[in-house]
């Protein structure tokens, strides 16, 4: 994660209309298979490979481990040089058995490199030493690795591609080198088929807070579609503050899309070529950490700071979205698998209902907040 425009817009989520959770959605939640503990163990595995710097043995070991343990995917490597780095993105495709050539694609992505420096470390003798990258790098890969175990048995009707990007987090300025190369190499056909590019980065913090990130901005049709899907799924999963989940318990304050952070990450090169993309990221790493503080880019980014529960929250959200077809663009596919809202006693709220109101309010608010915007370069 590189440049941050930290910008918090409180967008009156309280206006959301109380409606109800889908009993179908609750049935699907009971079937979820994501194992947070399994994902969490893989964080230690990754850190033990050593610093996953581009071109390193540790980097190769990580790729080999991922491919060997997830053989159902069709893996390809794309070694190349860029800005002085020897990079390799790892991409795996899973195509349905009776899939058609034009089948939609959902891409699940994370950077797998670990940062080559620790510029935020309080110990000056350590600032030039690569960080462990347990959360920043390891957590995203962990969630994708566990999902890749499950996805082959989901019998989805569309393709899923898993993308591990290299060199997101290298050097003094924003790099995202692997993501840039991958985006530039997409054909028009690829771009038209990819209906969601879902990036996970730094999602293992025990004190998990997932806010909406921009770009894409509020009012962007494709971005709103994906963030609205996140909100629709989050309530029944118990990730929305005080919204009753499928077990009848009040939700946790984990997903809060009324707060928005500007984040430049591997999703931005995708947006630049027209791929609908969002970034799941917690930029407040550590209890009570403020944006881009805490353990971020320090030697304290170690496996003990990563929580199996937090990995499970994100993993289950992504899994549920896949099983429900929530990441697909139903308008272009006439898919019948979008999350539905039916009557039931469970009280939650439907962002789909309030989405357009939300967007208009947000735009007005953004204009008002101009004076309060704090723009900050991460380094």
Is residue 1 at the binding interface for Zn ion, with CB under 5 A as the rule?
yes
Q: Find the part of the chain contacting Zn ion (CB under 5 A) among 50-58, 62-70, 152-160, 166-174.
A: 166-174
What is the spatial distance between Cα 9 and Cα 116, in angstroms, rounded to a whole number? 33
Q: Using the rule CB under 5 A, which residue among 91, 113, 169, 300 binds Zn ion?
A: 169
C-beta closer to Zn ion: residue 136 or 146:
136
In terms of C-beta density within 10 A (0-12 exposed, 13-18 middle, 19 or more buried), how is residue 140 classed? buried
For Zn ion, the closer of residues 62 and 246 by Cβ is 62
CB of 136 to Zn ion, least distance (A): 4
Q: Indicate the residue among 211 and 295 with the shorter CB distance to Zn ion.
A: 295
In angstroms, give the least distance from the CB of 321 to Zn ion: 25
167: left (phi over 0), alpha (psi -120 to 50) or beta: left
Nearer to Zn ion, 179 or 359 (CB): 179
Q: How far is the CB of 169 from Zn ion (least distance, A)?
A: 4
CB neighbour list of residue 100: distance below 8 Å, 6 or more residues apart:
none
Q: Which stretch binds Zn ion (CB under 5 A): 16-24, 164-172, 211-219, 251-259?
A: 164-172
Of 83 and 221, the one with the shorter C-beta distance to Zn ion is: 83
Question: What is the DSSP-derived secondary structure letter of residue 250?
Answer: B
Q: How far, in Å, CA of 170 to CA of 143, rounded?
A: 22
Q: In what order do the strands lie in the sheet with 277-281?
A: 74-77, 90-94, 159-165, 105-111, 194-201, 277-281
Question: C-beta of 346: minimal distance to Zn ion in Å?
Answer: 38
Closest separation in Å from C-beta 62 to Zn ion: 16
Total residues in contact with Zn ion, by rule CB under 5 A: 3
Q: Which stretch binds Zn ion (CB under 5 A): 24-32, 74-82, 162-170, 350-358?
A: 162-170
Q: How far is the CB of 70 from Zn ion (least distance, A)?
A: 24
For 370, which DSSP code? G
Residue 265 within binding range of Zn ion, rule CB under 5 A: no
Please state, in angstroms and rounded to a whole number, the distance separating the CA atoms of residues 16 and 145: 35
- Please give, one letter per residue, the 3-state secondary structure of 288-327: CCCCCEECCCCCCCCHHHECHHHHHHHHHHHHHHHHHCCC
Token pair 């993501």 is at which residue?
Answer: 179
| Integer Cα distance of 178 and 182 in angstroms | 6
* Residue 2 or 158 having the CB closest to Zn ion: 2
**The pair of three-digit structure tokens given for residue 133, joined into one six-digit string:** 């990258």
How far is it, in rounded angstroms, from Cα 110 to Cα 33? 20
Does 159 participate in binding Zn ion (rule CB under 5 A)? no
Residues within window 119-148 making contact with Zn ion, judged by CB under 5 A: 136
Q: Which is nearer to Zn ion, 135 or 354 (CB)?
A: 135
Give min distance, CB of 363 to Zn ion, in A: 31
Min dist CB 133 to Zn ion, Å, is 8
CB 133 within 8 A of CB 114: yes
| Interacting residues toward Zn ion by CB under 5 A | 1, 136, 169
């Amino acid at each position: 994660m590189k440049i941050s425009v930290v910008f918090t817009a409180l967008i009156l989520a309280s206006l959301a209309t109380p409606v109800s959770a889908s009993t179908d959605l609750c049935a699907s939640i009971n079937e979820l298979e994501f194992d947070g503990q399994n994902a969490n163990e893989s964080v230690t595995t990754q850190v033990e490979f050593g610093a996953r710097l581009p071109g390193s043995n540790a980097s190769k070991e990580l790729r080999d481990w991922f491919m060997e343990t997830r053989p159902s995917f069709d893996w390809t490597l794309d070694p190349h040089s860029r800005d002085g780095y020897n990079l390799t993105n790892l991409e795996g495709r899973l195509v349905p058995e009776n899939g058609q050539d034009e089948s939609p694609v959902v891409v699940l992505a994370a950077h797998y490199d670990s940062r080559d420096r620790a510029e935020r470390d309080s110990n000056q003798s350590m600032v030039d030493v690569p960080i462990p990258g347990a959360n920043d790098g390891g957590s995203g890969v962990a969630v994708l690795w566990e999902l890749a175990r499950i996805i082959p048995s989901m019998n989805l009707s569309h393709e899923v591609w898993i993308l591990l990007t290299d060199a997101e987090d290298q050097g003094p300025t924003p790099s995202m080198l692997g993501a840039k190369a991958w985006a530039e190499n997409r054909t028009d056909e690829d771009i038209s088929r990819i209906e969601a590019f879902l990036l996970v980065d730094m999602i293992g913090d025990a004190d998990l807070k997932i806010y909406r990130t921009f770009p894409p901005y509020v009012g962007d049709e494709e971005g709103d579609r994906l963030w609205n899907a996140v909100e629709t799924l989050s309530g029944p999963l118990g990730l929305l503050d005080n919204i009753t989940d499928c077990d009848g318990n009040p939700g946790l304050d984990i997903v809060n899309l009324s707060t928005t952070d500007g984040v430049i990450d591997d999703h931005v090169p995708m947006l630049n070529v027209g791929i609908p993309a969002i970034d799941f990221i917690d930029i407040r790493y550590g209890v009570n950490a403020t944006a881009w503080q805490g353990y971020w880019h320090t030697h304290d980014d170690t496996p003990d700071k990563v929580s199996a529960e937090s990995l499970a929250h994100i993993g289950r959200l992504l899994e549920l979205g896949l099983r429900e077809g929530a990441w697909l663009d139903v308008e272009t596919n006439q898919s019948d698998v979008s999350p539905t809202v039916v009557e039931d006693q469970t009280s939650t709220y439907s962002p789909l209902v309030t989405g357009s109101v939300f967007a208009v309010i947000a735009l007005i608010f953004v204009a008002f907040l101009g004076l309060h915007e704090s723009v900050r370069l991460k380094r």
